[in-house]
A and B are shown apart, each in its own frame.
Chain A
Amino acid sequence: MDKIKNLADLRKMKEGMQSKMSMRENSNSDEAIIQIKVGMATSGIASGAKETMNYLITELDKRQIKALVMQVGDMGYSYAEPTVEVTIPGKDPVVFGDVKIPRAQEIIEKYIIGGELIEGILPANYRSI
């Protein structure tokens, strides 16, 4: 890794990352990929987020579905942990709550494969800067 030596380096890296991220979300791009974020703060992990994440990774792999599964911090919905956000290229992100293994399976089979929403959606009730 080259060190960031000045502000221009930082901006270049930011733009590079941003275009990579938007390509993933754009359904027409070759880089398009399903992105899954798993809330892995202490509260999420205590409710089983690690098991959910491992399940998602192995199950998607088994079904040969290309997806990027990553850990993130607390999404704020402590009453519905574990929480998982799924972004299918070209669609808005959807957050699901109480995602233990059965619901994770349902997310893969119904939402990711079938494009059909399932129960457990947590609507974004905030705005961010």
Chain B
Amino acid sequence: MAVKMHILVCGGTGCSASQSHEIVAELNKELVAHDLTDFAKVVVTGCFGFCEKGPIVKIIPDNTFYTRVKPSDAKEIIEEHIIKGRKVQRLLYVAPDTNQSVSDSKHMEFYKKQLRIALRNCGFIDPENIEESIARDGYAALGKCLTEMTPVQVIEEIKKSGLRGRGGAGFPTGLKWEIASKSRPGEQKYVVCNADEGDPGAFMDRSLLEGDPHSILEAMAICGYCIGASKGLIYIRAEYPLAIHRLQVAIKQAEEYGLLGKNIFGTGFDFDIELRYGAGAFVCGEETALIHSMEGKRGEPTFKPPFPAQSGYLEKPTNVNNVETFANIPVIINKGADWFASIGTEKSKGTKVFALAGKINNVGLIEVPMGITLREIIYEIGGGIKGGKKFKAVQTGGPSGGCLTEKHLDTPIDYDSLVAAGSMMGSGGMIVMDEDDCMVAIAKFYLGFTVDESCGKCTPCRVGNRRLLEILTRITDGKGTMADLDELKNLSAVIKDTALCGLGQTSPNPVLSTINNFWDEYVEHVTEKKCRAGQCKALKKYVIDPDKCKGCTACARACPAGAINGTVKNPHAIDQDKCIKCGTCIEKCKFGAISIQ
């Protein structure tokens, strides 16, 4: 007899911590007791994203969703639901807004934390088949714009939606388009898609381009129609070969189908898209540097104004938007600005895609409505911190952003609240850190990145950031002073005020934000020469416990630096000045006498 029913039990970290494995054992015991093992099967699954209501049990095929299940409920679930077909009412999910029980998971959609708008097709359609995109409304918005709306109407719709640039700074997209449309009418203009995703740990744009390239092409054509451009350019880094391949296929297919090229939808509107490859310099995500790089010049930023809308690519009016911004456009046209504006917070509408990475259980690509809290992202969608460790901070906004700490866990996330908290939205990289991460070392890591990536054009960024990095290195090497800490703050402020472009102006943010939130840790590194996370190698101190040391000399013989002194059968000691902290002695000691302080 084939299995007719399945009992799914959440095996995510949250549910496992609240006894989901015991529930599985109890359910199996009951199935055996009632001789039902051929009829129903218990299956452990991944996280349901409802950790707060866990442990979760779901029955298939009727999709009944039980919450807060205890091992003692197993008997009732088997006897009532599986045998008699009656749902266990008291375990059903109660909707927080209506206070009604929700009987099956199909009616629970609304309560899910994630909402996919930009990622709507990602993972659903074959990105190399334009017809699948068309089946899911691909190019319908472009058709609607070209045949039923004027450029002014489209721009009004985008303005009304409240969409803001998803690249990080959050400039209103509709306004940007309006400025570009009014700039130098009648001249050749350009639409540029910024796909130069460079933040460490970020992969939102890459995933979008790899999963749903047609939505981006469609939105660029809509933008071209609005601002009066017949040419689009996608600036993408050469280190994204798969995204490039899928874009090339998509452009070719769109041209074959007549959805790009001449006389689109028979309206006389022409639009072509070409790719431009970047060599992967972080500064080329800044729009003026990006434009210079596309022109074949050095990827260096220039002073704004003139803004690209006035004089951009080849000194023609140019509108630059980020990949994710474009991904939202077709949906706004198809579903309406009011619908889009109903999602999110007062000043930040819609959703945001985040690449969730670091010390978190469910690393992945997520899309959430603006206004969700960090707590919901980390503990429900992300399934909590790896290994049950303590949460310390989240880095958002990459090398230009800052850290959010425990006190920000319940802050609703939007552009403005993140800036108020000393960080920024950025393009959407979200790196979670636990108690084992040293915040000074984190600041040093990001600054090392900006020092590498600084184009060198302006002095504050080229020289200033290097000095900041030197000070941070001194501190992590245990040679810092309190004066260094003051200098960090002063120099950071000067760089912020005087650097030429966004890269330099924001590069001290990781330093300032960690100083603000983790001042104690900085002071500890300086005054006590201590790194509480044990990350700063130079501050580690290897010591031998004289009570445990048998004087076997194994460590002294193995020490490559000759830093261990002592005579046979007497306790040994480590000369801290000579010790290179390689850890060899710990490996050699058979008595567990050596520890790190």
Contacts and interface: CB of A to CB of B under 8 A. Distances in A.
Interface of A: 1, 3-7, 10-11, 13-14, 17-18, 21, 37, 39-43, 45, 70-80, 83, 85, 91-92, 97, 114-123, 125-129
Contacts of B124: 37, 72, 128
Contact of A45 (B129, B240, B242): B242
Contacts of B126: 70-72
B119 interface: yes
B137 A14 contact: yes
A63 B235 CA distance: 45
B592 interface: no
B143 interface: yes
Nearest to A125: B49
Contacts of B265: 4-7, 10
A39 B123 contact: yes
A126 B115 contact: yes
Contacts of A123: 8, 10, 45-49, 58
Contacts of B135: 14, 17-18, 21
B123 A72 contact: yes
Contacts of B49: 123, 125-126
A54 to B, nearest CB: 16
Interface string B254-288: 00111100000110000000000000000000000
A17 B137 CA distance: 11
Given A3-B258, A117-B60, A14 B115 contact: no
A7 B147 contact: yes
A27 to B, nearest CB: 13
Given A39-B123, A122-B47, 20 more contacts: A1-B256, A4-B257, A5-B265, A6-B143, A7-B144, A13-B131, A41-B210, A42-B210, A72-B211, A73-B122, A73-B208, A77-B46, A77-B362, A91-B61, A116-B6, A125-B113, A126-B367, A127-B109, A127-B114, A129-B116
B114 A74 contact: no
Interface string B81-120: 0000000000000000000000000000110111111011
Contacts of A75: 122-123
Contacts of A114: 2-3
A78 B110 contact: no
A78 B364 contact: yes
B354 to A, nearest CB: 10
7 contacts: A6-B143, A17-B132, A45-B242, A76-B119, A78-B363, A115-B3, A116-B6
Contacts of A4: 139, 257-259, 265
A72 B125 CA distance: 5
A5 B206 CA distance: 31
Contacts of A121: 8, 43, 45-46
Contacts of A6: 143, 147, 265-266
Contacts of B207: 41, 43, 73-74
Contacts of B116: 126-129
Given A37-B123, A73-B123, A123-B46, A115 B2 contact: yes
A41 B2 CA distance: 36
B257 A1 contact: yes
B120 A74 contact: no
B127 A73 contact: yes
What is the size category of the interface that chain B forms with chain A?
35 or more
A80 B134 CA distance: 29
Question: Nearest 3 A-B pairs (CB), nearest first?
Answer: A73-B211, A125-B49, A3-B258
Contacts of A5: 258, 265-266
Contacts of A127: 109-110, 112, 114-116
Interface in B503-543: none
A78 B127 contact: no
B326 to A, nearest CB: 16
Interface string B143-175: 110010000000000000000000000000000
A53 to B, nearest CB: 12
Nearest to A15: B135
Contacts of A7: 140, 143-144, 147, 265
Nearest to A80: B46
B375 interface: no
B427 to A, nearest CB: 16
Contacts of A129: 115-117, 120, 331, 335
Most buried by B among A21, A79, A115: A79
Contact of A76 (B2, B61, B63, B122): B122
A79 B361 CA distance: 7
A35 to B, nearest CB: 11
Contact of B211 (A41, A92, A120): A41
B140 A14 contact: yes
B378 interface: no
Contacts of A40: 210
B366 interface: yes
A77 to B, nearest CB: 5
A67 to B, nearest CB: 15
Contacts of B43: 117-119, 121
A40 B126 CA distance: 9
Interface in B339-375: 361-367
A77 B123 CA distance: 10
Contacts of A117: 3, 6, 8, 41, 43, 60
Contacts of B10: 123
Contacts of A10: 134, 139-140, 143, 265
Given A123-B47, A123-B48, A76 B365 contact: yes
B484 to A, nearest CB: 38
Contacts of B236: none
